Amino acid sequence: MRFRLFGTEIYVSFLFCAVIAFMLATDRTGLCIPTIFAIFIHETGHLFAMWVCECQPKSIMLVPASVKITRAFPKVKNGEIIIALSGPLSNIVIFYLFI
């Protein structure tokens, strides 16, 4: 499935959806939903940092075991470092908020 959202092309693979559905259907530990939530927060952290650094993503691809974000070079000095660290940092912040 391909669509555009805020000028960004988003591609979601059928196999990606199938793997997520299979994981949710067979999860007996209850860890699948928190894991998917952590991945979502992580990637949202990168996207938020891109927005702050005025670097709009060109495309987002969701395929099994991978999320690929294609973007232009950030306009802000040290933007690459900010974008790279924002994903793990957002997970750490959410972790401490839920404890």
pLDDT at 97 over 90: yes
Q: What is the pLDDT of residue 21?
A: 96
Domain ranges, ordered by start, for the chain: 2-98
Q: What is the pLDDT of residues 35-53, one digit of tens each?
A: 999 999 999 999 999 999 9
Q: What is the pTM of this model?
A: 0.86
**Residues 82, 50: Cα–Cα separation, whole Å:** 8
> CB count, 10 Å around CB of 83?
22
**Residues 99, 97: Cα–Cα separation, whole Å:** 6
